[in-house]
Chains A and B, each alone.
Chain A
Amino acid sequence: MAGVRALGVLSRFTSRRYALYSARTHVNYEVKGDVAVVRINDPNSKVNTLSVQMQKEMAEVMDEVWANNAVQSAVLISSKPGCFIAGADINMIQGCNNAEEVTTLSKEGQKMFERIEKSPKPIVAAINGSCLGGGLEVGLPNAFDMMLTGRNIRADKAKKMGLVHQLVDPLGPGLKSPEERTMDYLEEVAIEYARGIVSKKIPIHKVKGSMESKLLLNYVMSFGLVRNQIYNTVQSKVMKQSKGLYPAPLKIIECVKAGVEQGPVAGYLAESQNFGQLAKTSESAALIGLYQGQVACKKNRFGTPQREVKTLAILGAGLMGAGIAQVTVDKGVHTVLKDTTVSGLARGEQQVYKGLNDKTKKKNITSFQRDSILSNLTGQLDYSNFAKADMVIEAVFEDINIKHAVLKEVEAVVSPHCIFATNTSALPIKDIAAASKRPDKVIGMHYFSPVDKMQLLEIITTDKTSKDTTASAVAVGLKQGKVIIVVRDGPGFYTTRCLAPMLAEAVRVLQEGVDPKKLDALTTSFGFPVGAATLADEVGIDVAAHVAEDLGKAFGSRFGGGNVEVLKTMVDLGFKGRKSGKGCYIYQPGLKTKEVNPDIVDIGQSSDQDSPCYRLVSRFVNEAVLCLQEGILINPLEGDIGAVFGLGFPPCLGGPFRFVDSFGADKLVEKMRQYEAVYGNQFTPCQLLLDHAKDSTKRFHM
């Protein structure tokens, strides 16, 4: 309660301060004829959020609007082009000390929505741009599906779903800037619409679909049995998708159930109480942490680079190279894709085309936009356009000699300002840069496969990499829509280094006789979106073998576990993972289900069935903490973001560092000591972890 009171005091303080100029800061209104135009504008933020202040002012404004006899209707509009209400204020929820406080906040919010819903005068919400979460509640009752997954919906789809009643097209330049004029126009149209409702020219609720089907639906829903069946179906679907690791979707079903079965009062009560509980779960803290980390990793802390990258050349049109091209070419950057063979180039260009064509099929872009985007892509076999390139990203085979050869070739043809970025998952950047005439322009850009789906970009700087080079690489990555962590150079950098011991442990588990399906099931139920065996296939068994060998050399027995020879044998047998059609599983094009590779079962002998998850996770986490200890990582936040967005570390745990905080470093160390006794030094906790275990007040995240 203290938190709310504190906020209340603060708001009273501010309102008194502003009383001289204007009583309200977040919500204001103006009466235009018989319509009140209520404007929402958070003066301290780029987006409007449902804060305590806003709710309070909204209530005041609504009271005044209702009390004003000259006003027949109201229009609710944001003064920010591109954002109506982005949802609840996360800081506000975080600021609460316990579940009761959040429940109180939630009740206040419900009251506001209820007031709007029960308004005696018609209210038209004029929405331009994002309208998420609580912002959407201003509209109609939500569809089941949407509440559960929180998808973003385009305006035209929202109309089809019946969420909005009328669409207004954005305008181009006129006598004002397009954004300004569009907002004015939206307001004009909304005012007319509001007047239309008052004069009964516009019916308030358009019934979608035939009345018969509506009636039928209501009739069917009146049977408790049918309703229960629906709840159960939804519940089992949620369980299947979330593995029961995320409490929120289940609580939502509970609230809906309460609302339908016991009436709206009980529903609202259940909603606010559950919301309060959920807000203070460790999952909530983990996801909020990830959200904040993601926001932080979407900023360029190295400043604006001296030159904007307008032409980007990519060496190697393989999965990676073409993937990088795909996320670059549609951002207005001229992209040059070079390969050594016609067939390789054709495959790469086809991949880029397919990516864009899929977007066309989903109607995200038109076929014209697709073609116009593709016109920015140049495919070639030689270095002819490289003189114009501002940055070259190489994605050739992971072999230091090949990397050195292309680096020299590139440096011979590019202009002096051109940056050379190398996309490698394990080779130390300083070793690659050793062949460079200008190591200050060399940087590592580690993309994750598939590039168009994986959000993370790991940027690796050496001691010689200049700040401007880093700034430029981050700027390119941000343009490509990536979440970026910047780490120091070292074998395996951060992500590969954490992944390698975990995969080594996974191989050992397989060798112990756990079959891949079982391992996948165990790891996914722990919260990994992709099971460990599938992950090994996705990464590529050959890559894993390569990395295991390289990092094994660099770090010694700590990286042991599964026998590297096992991986090598698999590679020799052609089991390279998904790309070769066989790995831990057998992959067939067109088939979504995959069978366990029968030959792989032979590699292991039977053993105990104790859950191996903590073995995998503890090695992962220990290595992550060691990266922070050694200064590879700048802060725990980037470590968490890298692990979740790049390696699929369970999001509900919030990343390795948050996991240590919530699980308890002492408990983790205890577990590791047990494993150490059985398996050896791979489980020896690092010093920083030991420090945290000794002192429970030490935390990675405050």
Chain B
Amino acid sequence: MASMLLNTMRAGSVSPSWAVRLGARSLSTTAQLHAQVQTKSKKTLSRPGVKNIVLVEGVRTPFLLSGTTGLLQRTGLSKDAVDYIIYGTVIQEVKTSNVAREASLGAGFSDKIPSHTVTMACISSNVAMTSAVGLIAAGQCDSVVAGGVEFMSDVPIRHSRKMRKTMLSLNKAKTLGQRLSLIGSIRMAHLSPELPAVAEFSTAESMGHSADRLAAAFGVSRVEQDEFALRSHTLAKSAQDAGLLKDVISFKVPGRDIVSKDNGIRPSSMEQMGRLKAAFIKPHGTVTAANSSFLTDGASAVLVMSEEKALAMGYKPKAYLRDFVYVSQDPKDQLLLGPTYGTPKVLERAGLAMSDIDVFEFHEAFAGQIMANLKAMDSDWFGQTYLGRKSKVGAPPMEKFNLWGGSLSLGHPFGATGCRLVTTVAHRLQKEGGQYGLVAACAAGGQGHAMVIEAYPQ
């Protein structure tokens, strides 16, 4: 992760001459900046009295199925241009409960830069980014590094509650006799460890199980799910081959080779996928290993700045981060419907229609979940009954949807996916020449997030 922080800085750094030119431009007033943006075909979302906040750069390590443990290696570079560092993570290592601080120190950032860690399940790094936006908008900071990190291959595994209790009592035991009797009380059952599960605390239902029920509720067939998963892998493969996944930086895994590609992209065939058995609801379920996102290690980071500061420092911003919303609903039956609830809400805030959006990047937790969300957004009944609308939201057109693959094919390191979505939107807007992008994601706890991103004038 540390190396990535550095890459963020490096990617943003420009030649001195650029800096002078851009620095000069930064002297110009905000009004002029607005005028410049408005020359584009669509209106800008910039509002008077609201700071323009930009995405300067976004990077990530390749999302790996396993093997990376050394993301926190030290580098000697010290930076003090950043005011604050925020990182999102989901499964916390007890020793590094504020992983953002440890990472920034490990990366050699000035120890004067405060950093904190946020968590909101799969949208943790989204929270990191929007917290950064909040700090900048409030005038507290000008430049913030936000990111996410996850080590799925090294999750903390706890002793059973009985064993923990015994061990804690052992600490307090005063005499040898007490200790021995405590040790003597340890049974085989004490030794079985507690594995962390991707299960809801409130309902004790695993996410895959919930996704399967959600798919069934919306009548999403197994074939539809497999087709969508195949689409994700195919699109990811062609994006990778075409060199579009520019946010990926090479990363040296200690003791192994340098990794510079996502290693989970595996376009297969419908026949192969059709052979898999249901993974959660057996035997009649439809969610399988092939049409679910896979959990990986991975880290991502973005540099967020106020527009003035970015220009003053000589950066060429990639995009404006505009309106965003968080939503939450029933964690049992609507666990993964966050995008359905968030999308209309954020569009309304931004004063945009579905048709205004050029680029959609939705988090693909499960193919069944994406299909269920698309069906929910396309249903008048659902819109009227559950969203309190007069009619349906309308589903995003597939020709604008997750064109460079998604979590199903690239992998899903819980805390790091949000930054990947935002960076991908920025890159796709640049590549495809669109103006508005929409990020939407669901998260455990029945929560969801959506954000509107506007292209920075090129």
User: Which of A's residues lie within 8 Å of B, judged by CB?
Assistant: 166, 168-169, 171-178, 181, 185, 189, 192-193, 366, 368, 372
Contacts and interface: CB of A to CB of B under 8 A. Distances in A.
Interface string B381-399: 1100110000000000000
A430 B88 CA distance: 65
Contacts of A172: 213-214, 217, 330, 332-334
A366 B199 CA distance: 14
B217 A169 contact: no
Given A189-B284, A192-B284, A193-B284, A173 B334 contact: yes
B372 interface: yes
Given A174-B372, A175-B217, A185-B216, 15 more contacts: A171-B217, A172-B330, A172-B333, A174-B214, A174-B217, A174-B375, A174-B382, A175-B219, A175-B379, A177-B385, A193-B284, A366-B202, A368-B202, A368-B204, A372-B202
Contacts of B202: 366, 368, 372
B382 A173 contact: yes
A372 B333 CA distance: 18
A157 to B, nearest CB: 17
A193 B284 CA distance: 9
A182 B298 CA distance: 38
Contacts of A178: 217, 333
Interface of A is mostly: loop
B394 to A, nearest CB: 15
B281 A169 contact: yes
30 contacts: A168-B284, A169-B281, A171-B213, A172-B213, A172-B217, A172-B330, A172-B333, A172-B334, A173-B334, A173-B385, A173-B386, A174-B217, A174-B218, A174-B372, A174-B376, A174-B382, A175-B218, A175-B375, A175-B376, A175-B381, A176-B381, A178-B217, A178-B333, A181-B216, A181-B217, A185-B216, A366-B202, A366-B203, A368-B204, A372-B202
B18 interface: no
B204 to A, nearest CB: 6
Interface string B216-259: 11110000000000000000000000000000000000000000
Contacts of B281: 169
Contacts of A168: 284
Given A178-B333, A366-B204, A368-B204, A173 B217 contact: yes
Contacts of A192: 284
Contacts of B216: 171, 174, 181, 185
A172 B376 CA distance: 12
In the A-B complex, the 6 residue pairs with the closest CB atoms: A172-B333, A174-B217, A171-B217, A174-B218, A189-B284, A368-B202
Contacts of B201: 368
A189 B212 CA distance: 13
Contacts of B219: 174-175, 181
Contacts of A171: 213, 216-217, 333
A173 B217 CA distance: 6
Contacts of B204: 366, 368
A166 B281 CA distance: 11
Nearest to B380: A175
A368 to B, nearest CB: 5
B378 to A, nearest CB: 9
Contacts of A185: 216-217
Interface in B170-210: 201-204, 209
A176 B380 CA distance: 11
B268 to A, nearest CB: 24
A173 B202 CA distance: 19
A173 B283 CA distance: 22
Contacts of A176: 381
B275 to A, nearest CB: 14
B284 A166 contact: yes
Nearest to A190: B284
Contacts of A175: 217-219, 375-376, 379, 381-382
B265 to A, nearest CB: 31
Nearest to A366: B204
A242 B432 CA distance: 81
A173 B446 CA distance: 14
A516 B201 CA distance: 51
A185 B212 CA distance: 12
A291 B201 CA distance: 40
Nearest to A169: B213
Nearest to A175: B379
Interface string B282-314: 011000000000000000000000000000000
Contacts of B385: 173, 177
Nearest to B201: A368
Contacts of A372: 202
Contacts of B332: 172
Contacts of B284: 166, 168, 189, 192-193
Nearest to A372: B202
A173 B375 CA distance: 12
Interface in B298-351: 330, 332-334
Contacts of A193: 284
A174 B334 CA distance: 9
A368 B213 contact: no
Nearest to A368: B202
B312 to A, nearest CB: 50
Nearest to B379: A175
Nearest to B372: A174
Contacts of B375: 174-175
Residue among B218, B281, B284 having the largest count of chain A Cβ atoms under 10 Å: B284
Residue among A166, A173, A174, A193 having the largest count of chain B Cβ atoms under 10 Å: A174
A177 B382 CA distance: 9
Nearest to B215: A174
Contacts of A181: 216-217, 219
A371 to B, nearest CB: 10
Nearest to B333: A172
A289 B216 CA distance: 44
Interface in B381-433: 381-382, 385-386
A368 B200 CA distance: 10
A171 B219 CA distance: 11
A612 B386 CA distance: 65
Nearest to B200: A368
A620 to B, nearest CB: 49
A185 to B, nearest CB: 5
Residue among A166, A168, A173, A189 having the largest count of chain B Cβ atoms under 10 Å: A173
A201 B332 CA distance: 32
A460 B382 CA distance: 47
Nearest to A181: B217
A191 to B, nearest CB: 11
Contacts of A173: 217, 333-334, 382, 385-386
Contacts of B333: 171-173, 178
A60 to B, nearest CB: 31
A591 to B, nearest CB: 26
B186 to A, nearest CB: 24
B47 to A, nearest CB: 36
A368 B201 CA distance: 7
B334 to A, nearest CB: 6
Contacts of B334: 172-173
A179 to B, nearest CB: 11
A363 to B, nearest CB: 10
Residue among A168, A176, A372 having the largest count of chain B Cβ atoms under 10 Å: A176
B162 to A, nearest CB: 16
Nearest to A171: B217
Contacts of A169: 209, 213, 281
Contacts of B379: 175
B212 to A, nearest CB: 8
Residue among A169, A172, A177 having the largest count of chain B Cβ atoms under 10 Å: A172
A176 B217 CA distance: 8
A181 B334 CA distance: 14
B369 to A, nearest CB: 12
A395 B201 CA distance: 37
A172 B214 CA distance: 7
